[in-house]
Amino acid sequence: MKGFDMALETARVPTENGARYLQQLCKHWSHKLDVQLTEKEGIVRFPAAVATMIASPDALTVSVEAEDDETLQRMKSVVASHLDRFAFKEAPLTFEWKA
């Protein structure tokens, strides 16, 4: 996926449970996808996109990079809906995506 025309957007999602959510989400996807996971950071490689999540004490920063804008929009929705599922107690989470 190394190219010059990658589409990238990032959202800072306010939550005090970001580390827990990224652990749950990465473990969920690790059964079918290439996942790198540390205590505060997760990287998930999808067939046409990469999602990176970094937890801080008050937020989860989510970046999605894809081959084109259509894929980017679809994958942002996939990541957000899965995070909301794991964050059901405080869902829907607030995603303010920025290019």
> What phi and psi values does residue 84 have, to the nearest 5 degrees?
-60, -35
How sure is the predictor about 6, in pLDDT bands with cuts at 50, 70 and 90?
confident
Q: Which amino acid is at 60?
A: L
34, amino acid identity: D
Question: What Rg do the C-alpha atoms of the chain give, in angstroms?
Answer: 13
Structural domains of the chain ordered from first start: 7-87 (3.30.310.50)
| Confidence at 1, pLDDT banded by 50, 70, 90 | very low
**What is the arithmetic mean of pLDDT over 67-84?**
96
Q: What number is the average pLDDT over the span 87-91?
A: 93
pTM for the complete prediction?
0.92
Q: What does the alpha-carbon distance between residue 90 and residue 86 come to, in Å, rounded to a whole number?
A: 9
User: Is the pLDDT at 14 greater than 90, yes or no?
Assistant: yes
- pLDDT > 90 in the chain, percent: 94
- Rounded mean pLDDT, 31-49: 96
